[in-house]
Structure 1
C-alpha cells in the first residue's frame, strides 16, 4: 500500500517523499552513534574500519542496478508493443484499401478498434484492465477477416496477408495488456529501502566520533540514493505513473487512417 501510494504521486512528490524518508533515517542513523545516551555502546564499536561501509553499499548498488534495468526493459517492451500494434493495424488498413474488392467493413472495424483503445481502454490500463468495447471490436475484426468468401473474392495471398497482420496485432495487444497488469514488486522496493538505510548506518558507524564528516557522508549518499531511486520509480510501471507510455503512435495512426 505504501509503495503503491508513493509510485502514484507526481514526479516532484516522488522525489520529495523519498527525500523526507531517507533524510529522517539518515538523521536517526547519525543520532544513534552520536547521542550521549549511546556513548558507552559506541565506544565499544569504534574499532569498525572504513571498508566495512562498502559491503552494504555494494549490495544496495547491485539491487538498484537490477531494478533500474528491469524498469527500463519494461518501458522498452511497452514501446515496442505499441509500435507493433500500430504497424499491424496500418498494414491491415492499407492492404484492405489496395485490394479488390472493396473492404470497407474491415477498415471501419480497424478504426472502431483504435477509437475504443484510445478512448476506453487506455485509461483502464493504469489499473491493469481492458475495455470491453476494444475487445469486442477486436473480435469483430477477426470475424470480418475470417470470412471464407474473402479468399475467393480477394485472393488467397491477400487473405493470408490480412490474417498475418491481425496475428501481429493480437501478439502486440497481448504484450501491452500483460505489461499493464504487472504491478510493482513490493518486496524489491522494501529491500532496496532497507539496504539504503543500512548504508546510512554503516556510514555513521565508520565515522564514530566525527559528527560533521558523518553528516556530510550520509547527506551525499542520501542525495545520490534519492535521485537514483526516484528516476527508477517514475519508470517502474510503463502504463501507469507520472511518466506512463503515451498512446502517441496509435493516436497518429488513427488520425492518418481517418483521412483516407
Structure 2
C-alpha cells in the first residue's frame, strides 16, 4: 500500500505520511460541511459532545498498538535471525580449522562465496521479498560436502568434525529461512484500510466539534495530521526491515567476511 514511499528520502517519507493523514482530515472536513448543508441542525439541537471523539480515538489507538506491535516483533525477529546466521557461520569456520588443508579450503571457500552472495546480491533482493538461488545452492553444497567428509573417512575426530559441520550448516539454513520469512512479511491491506477508516472517522468527529470555530479547527486538524502522520511513518518505515530507512544491515556477516 505504501510501496512508492520506500524509494523516498526519510524526510519525504515522513512528509508523505503526514500529508496522507492531512488529506483524510480535509476530506472529512469537506464531508461534514456538505452534510451540514444538506441536513442542517435545528436551532436548539444538541451538538456532538467531545466524549464522542474519545470514543473513536480509543479503538484507533488499540488498532495502532496492535499493528505497531506486530511490526516491531517482525523487526526483532529479523535482527535475531541475522545474528543467529552470523553465529552459525562463525561456528562453521571454527570447525573448518580442524579439517585437513584441502577440505578446509573447500569449506571456507564455499562459506566466503555464500557470505558475498548474501551481502551483495540477496540483501537487495530481500527488499522485494525475494531470495538468491545461488545462496541456496551454496548451502546445499556445504551440506553435501559435510556428508561426503563424514562418509568418506574412518577417523573418529574427522567424522566428529563433519557431524558438527553438518549441524552448523543446518543452523545457517534455518536462520536464513527465518530471515527470508521476515523479509516477505507485510502489514495486510485490510489492516491499513481499517486504520485509515478509523482515522477518517476521528477526523469527521473532530471537524463536527470545531466546525463553527476556525482557529481551533485549523489547530486541531494540523495537530491531528502531525501526530497520527508520525505514527503511520513509524509503522510504515518498520514494515520492511530489509529496505527503506530502517534497513537491517548485514554487519555481522560482513565482519566474518573481513576476518576470513
Scaled by the length of structure 2, the TM-score of the pair is 0.88
- 5 Å-filtered alignment, 1:48-87, equals 48-87=48-87
Query: How well do the aligned residues superpose, as a CA RMSD in angstroms?
Result: 2.2
Contact 2:49–2:209 (CA<8 Å) still a contact in 1?
Answer: yes
User: In the alignment, is residue 13 of structure 1 matched against residue 12 of structure 2?
Assistant: yes
Shift of 1:46: 4.8
Residue matched to 1:29 = 28
Residue matched to 2:237 = 234
Q: Structure 1, residues 168-187: CA drift from partner, whole Å, max 9, x if none?
A: 11110110111122234222
Contact 1:125–1:180 (CA<8 Å) still a contact in 2?
Answer: yes
Output the CA distance in 2 between the equivalents of 1:58 and 1:7.
30
Output the CA distance in 2 between the equivalents of 1:203 and 1:13.
27
Residue matched to 2:141 = 140
User: In the alignment, is residue 93 of structure 1 matched against residue 93 of structure 2?
Assistant: yes
Of stretches 62-71 and 152-161 in structure 1, the one that deviates more from structure 2 is 152-161
Output the CA distance in 1 between the equivalents of 2:234 and 2:81.
23
User: In the alignment, is residue 173 of structure 1 matched against residue 171 of structure 2?
Assistant: no
Residue matched to 2:252 = 249
Output the CA distance in 1 between the equivalents of 2:113 and 2:17.
43
User: How many residues matched?
Assistant: 254
Contact 2:19–2:229 (CA<8 Å) still a contact in 1?
Answer: no
Residue matched to 1:126 = 127
Shift of 1:25: 2.7
Change in Cα spacing, 1:151 to 1:72, as seen in structure 2 (3 Å) is farther
Contact 1:120–1:133 (CA<8 Å) still a contact in 2?
Answer: no
SS of residue matched to 1:25: helix
SS of residue matched to 2:11: helix
Shift of 1:116: 1.4
Q: Structure 1, residues 111-170: CA drift from partner, whole Å, max 9, x if none?
A: 111111112211111122221221121111111111112563634432322222112111
Change in Cα spacing, 1:136 to 1:100, as seen in structure 2 (3 Å) is closer
Residue matched to 1:152 = 155
Contact 1:30–1:211 (CA<8 Å) still a contact in 2?
Answer: no
Output the CA distance in 2 between the equivalents of 1:50 and 1:233.
30
Scaled by the length of structure 1, the TM-score of the pair is 0.88
Residue matched to 1:4 = 3
Structure 1 stretches of 5 or more lacking a match? none
SS of residue matched to 1:43: coil
